[in-house]
């Protein structure tokens, strides 16, 4: 197999993968007897056609940037963190505890404290599987999946038996006293977001986190250690990189990023902690990271794409008779083509490029 | 806790351990041949959906089983193509196929039946009935062993006994046949197998196909025997628990039986909060009991596995030209 040019590897491989996923999704829609064009129109109109639509698209993209970065961080250490979902929900719990029990004079201080709480709770939920892998040899993939289920049960218990206000039937906490400004409240941006939209200033935090992750991975000794460990554990060990420390730090950072996602939905949107607050965003992080080729800037682009898919998928569920679960199918297809069948895509492209040279 | 309650718990242990056992043996074939499979969960899910749907439409549990195995094989084939042919990341392929299963099952069930992603409730011949083993009633008066035989061993669907029979069968195939020797060799040292003139690709595809069949039976059991129909996400992490059991069993068939019975016991306990409260004298909240199988999975993996050595070539695609 002839190697393909670098630009094709970076740009064409994800695009072709996406195209293949789209073709498969179209076939699925046809197979269940629905109209793919109608679905596409509904998606585009619903996700991009109005301030309301792209307010939601960006809102979802914010969450996906955080969870995508979380998966990216672990991937660079050679770890596959499927626990973003649980880590995000634990992050939400941290935010809820902070905002319910500490009276804050101003939302900016509350945001700072809540971010720290979310990161710490998420980091703990990520670091435990990391420790178990490094010290006890239990596989991080299985442990993080188990921790998702455990987190779910833990949150149910806390919401039903501990934090639920007296007299309220719904399993949720009381409303927080403070929130953060939506982009429609920010002076200057309110002319773009003419309606009340859930996208909030945590979008900027997500972008800052991207730069921070990039700087950490490629501009610090710690990042070097993480990437070296991910490339080859024996070589890293030989170079004096401590495996337990590296695994735990990578998993803690990964969990912290997933936890911070909850600033967006728990503090920014719902204003209280609900059951299953992350709504699958932790899992979408896997697709986002793979599609973004495990680079923070790629993550931003693919998070925007998945924000579009997610909001568009919600509109499909509302206005057509295609179930909302189409989103999960597309997510699976994207992961399959970008993460597992990437060699197939590369082989297809290499045929294309070698032919061009002969001609 | 009296003896009758204890037997009831053991009875549901066996019921709940069956899908775990089938999935665990499924994973055993695949991983022994050097192909990791996180996608046991998804294969069980698609099998459960298609067997529930076909059993409802045809009124035959056996046709349901066949449909379940066929769909599961389809998923296994995609995994094989990604993991073996195109040397993709096996963990990612499994995760992708799990998501695909989770979405597709709901999409198809909704399109076919319009009941919010469930299949209609099954009854009569569309479900696998309970078999009474010979002499179960006659032996019941025998102290201790009689009720055990009548309550725990007897009165399950044929798939439970099939799963139990699969344990010695798997052992025999893996340890006493040429096919089994080659399969294990492919998981330890594929280059050696290749040198001997045996196709690594074909061996691995055969292993992945067996995994598909066993996961298909496991899923069909969930929808047509354990419960009466398919429900959204009904496998609830059993595929992952089966993987944990596989590690606990150190990739051995008899170990798989004991490990899955243990995990089945945890699941059975989670369904009996009254018993747990009576034994421990602590009022344990229901969510804690629901999390119990998952917590114990983590503890077992972390504490009691000891040194579990996986097949040496596990997770690595075989590259011939190297």
Task: Let me know if residue B245 belongs to a domain.
Answer: no
Q: Is A105 exposed, middle or buried (0-12, 13-18, 19+ CB in 10 A)?
A: exposed
B135's tokens = 């002499």
Task: Let me know if residue B208 belongs to a domain.
Answer: yes
How far is the C-alpha of A210 from the C-alpha of A206, rounded, in Å?
Answer: 6
**Max CA pair span of chain B:** 67
Q: Are A268 and A198 in contact (CB under 8 A)?
A: yes
Q: Specify the 3-state DSSP secondary structure of B243.
A: helix
**Cβ <8 Å between A331 and B103:** yes
Q: Which domain holds residue B135?
A: 18-236
Task: Let me know if residue B315 belongs to a domain.
Answer: no
Task: Let me know if residue B288 belongs to a domain.
Answer: no
Give the one of A137, A146, A156 whose C-beta lies nearest to B297's C-beta.
A146
How far is the C-alpha of A316 from the C-alpha of A309, rounded, in Å?
Answer: 10
pLDDT band at B60 (very low <50, low <70, confident <90, very high): very high
Q: Are B27 and B199 in contact (CB under 8 A)?
A: no
Contacts of A74 in chain B (CB under 8 A): none
Q: A239 Cβ partners below 8 Å, 6+ apart?
A: A228
Q: Which carries the bigger pLDDT value, residue B234 or residue B277?
A: B234
Q: Are B269 and B262 in contact (CB under 8 A)?
A: no
Q: Are B245 and B260 in contact (CB under 8 A)?
A: yes
A157 touches chain B (CB under 8 A): yes
Contacts of A347 in chain B (CB under 8 A): 86
Q: Specify the 3-state DSSP secondary structure of A172.
A: strand
**Cβ <8 Å between B86 and A341:** yes
Task: Count how many pairs of residues, chain A against chain B, have C-beta atoms within 8 Å.
Answer: 148
Domain coordinates in residue numbering, chain A: 1-27+323-359, 58-321
ipTM score for this prediction: 0.91
pLDDT at A357: 58
How far is the C-alpha of B73 from the C-alpha of B77, rounded, in Å?
Answer: 6
Contacts of B295 in chain A (CB under 8 A): 146, 150
* pTM score: 0.90
Into how many domains does chain B fold? 1
Contacts of A342 in chain B (CB under 8 A): 88
How far is the C-alpha of B222 from the C-alpha of B235, rounded, in Å?
Answer: 8
Q: Are B242 and B27 in contact (CB under 8 A)?
A: yes
Query: Which of A336, A343, A344, A345 should one mutate to test binding to chain B, selecting the residue with the greatest count of B CBs within 10 A?
Result: A336
Per-residue pLDDT tens digits for B17-59: 999 999 999 999 999 999 999 999 999 999 999 999 999 999 9
Task: Let me know if residue B79 belongs to a domain.
Answer: yes
Task: Let me know if residue B201 belongs to a domain.
Answer: yes
Task: Let me know if residue B154 belongs to a domain.
Answer: yes
Give the one of A136, A336, A342 whose C-beta lies nearest to B302's C-beta.
A136
A94's tokens = 């941290």
Task: Let me know if residue B149 belongs to a domain.
Answer: yes
pLDDT at B308: 67
CATH topology of domain A58-321: ABC transporter involved in vitamin B12 uptake, BtuC (1.10.3470)
SS3 per residue for A66-127: HHHHHHHHHHHCCCCCCCHHHHHHHHHHHHHHHHHHCCCCCHHHHHHHHHHHHHHHHHHHHH
**Nearest Cα residue in chain B from A1:** B321
Q: CB-side exposure of B291: number of CA atoms within 13 Å?
A: 22
Residues of chain A above pLDDT 90, percent? 62
pLDDT band at A112 (very low <50, low <70, confident <90, very high): very high
pLDDT band at A348 (very low <50, low <70, confident <90, very high): confident
Per-residue pLDDT tens digits for A96-108: 999 999 999 999 9
Contacts of A157 in chain B (CB under 8 A): 285, 287-288
């Amino acid at each position: 197999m002839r190697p393909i040019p670098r630009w094709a590897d970076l740009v064409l491989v994800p695009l072709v993968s996406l195209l293949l996923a789209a073709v498969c999704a179209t076939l699925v829609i046809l197979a269940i007897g629905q109209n793919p064009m109608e679905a596409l129109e509904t998606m585009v109109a619903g996700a991009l056609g109005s301030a309301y639509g792209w307010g939601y698209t960006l809102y979802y993209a914010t969450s996906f940037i955080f969870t995508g970065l979380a998966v990216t961080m672990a991937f660079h250490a050679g770890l596959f963190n499927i626990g973003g979902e649980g880590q995000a929900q634990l992050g939400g719990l941290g935010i809820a505890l902070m905002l319910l029990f500490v009276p804050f004079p101003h939302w900016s201080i509350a945001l700072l404290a809540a971010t720290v709480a979310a990161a710490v709770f998420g980091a703990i939920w990520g670091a435990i599987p990391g420790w178990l892998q490094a010290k006890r040899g239990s596989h991080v993939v299985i442990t993080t999946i188990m921790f998702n289920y455990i987190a779910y049960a833990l949150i149910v218990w806390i919401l039903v038996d501990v934090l639920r206000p007296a007299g309220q039937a719904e399993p949720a906490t009381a409303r927080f006293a403070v929130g953060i400004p939506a982009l429609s409240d920010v002076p200057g941006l309110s002319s773009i977001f003419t309606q009340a939209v859930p996208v909030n200033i945590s979008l900027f935090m997500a972008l800052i986190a991207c730069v921070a992750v990039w700087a950490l991975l490629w501009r610090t000794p710690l990042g070097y250690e993480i990437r070296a460990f991910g490339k080859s554990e024996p070589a890293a060990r030989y170079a004096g990189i401590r495996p337990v420390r590296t695994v735990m730090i990578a998993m803690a950072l990964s969990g912290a990023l997933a936890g911070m996602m909850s600033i967006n939905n728990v503090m920014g949107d719902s204003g209280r902690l609900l059951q299953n607050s992350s709504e699958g965003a932790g899992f979408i992080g896997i697709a986002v990271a793979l599609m973004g080729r495990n680079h923070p800037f790629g993550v931003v682009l693919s998070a925007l794409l998945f924000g579009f898919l997610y909001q568009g998928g919600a509109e499909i569920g509302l206005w057509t008779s295609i179930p909302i679960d189409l989103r999960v199918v597309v997510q699976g297809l994207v992961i399959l083509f970008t993460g597992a069948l990437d060699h197939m895509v590369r082989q297809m492209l290499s045929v294309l490029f070698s032919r061009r040279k002969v001609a | 806790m009296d003896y009758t309650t204890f037997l009831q718990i053991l009875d549901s242990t066996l019921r709940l351990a069956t899908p775990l056992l089938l999935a665990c043996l499924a994973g055993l074939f695949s991983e022994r041949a050097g192909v990791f499979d996180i996608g046991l969960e998804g294969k069980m899910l698609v099998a459960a959906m298609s067997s529930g749907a076909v059993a409802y439409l045809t009124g035959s549990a056996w046709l349901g089983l066949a449909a379940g195995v066929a769909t599961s094989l389809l998923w296994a084939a995609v995994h094989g193509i990604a993991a073996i042919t195109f040397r993709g990341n096996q963990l990612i392929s499994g995760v992708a196929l799990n998501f695909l299963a989770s979405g597709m099952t709901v999409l198809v069930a909704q399109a076919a039946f319009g009941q919010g992603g469930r299949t209609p409730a099954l009854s009569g011949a569309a479900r696998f009935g309970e078999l009474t083993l010979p002499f179960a009633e006659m032996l019941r008066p025998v102290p201790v062993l009689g009720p055990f035989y009548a309550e725990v061993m007897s009165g399950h669907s044929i798939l439970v006994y099939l799963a139990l029979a699969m344990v010695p069968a798997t052992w025999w195939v893996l340890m006493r046949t040429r096919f089994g020797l080659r399969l294990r060799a492919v998981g330890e040292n594929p280059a050696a197998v290749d040198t001997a003139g045996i196709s690594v690709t074909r061996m691995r595809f055969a292993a992945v196909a067996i995994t598909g069949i066993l996961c298909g039976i496991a899923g069909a059991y969930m929808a047509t025997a354990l419960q009466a129909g398919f429900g959204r996400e009904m496998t609830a992490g059993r595929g992952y628990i089966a993987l944990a059991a596989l590690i606990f069993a150190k990739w051995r068939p008899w170990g798989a039986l004991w490990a899955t019975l243990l995990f089945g016991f945890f699941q059975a306990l989670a369904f009996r909060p009254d018993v747990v409260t009576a034994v421990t004298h602590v009022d344990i909240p229901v969510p804690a009991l629901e999390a119990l199988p998952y917590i114990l999975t983590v503890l077992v993996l972390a504490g009691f596995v000891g040194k579990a050595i996986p097949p040496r070539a596990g997770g690595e695609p075989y590259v011939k030209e190297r």
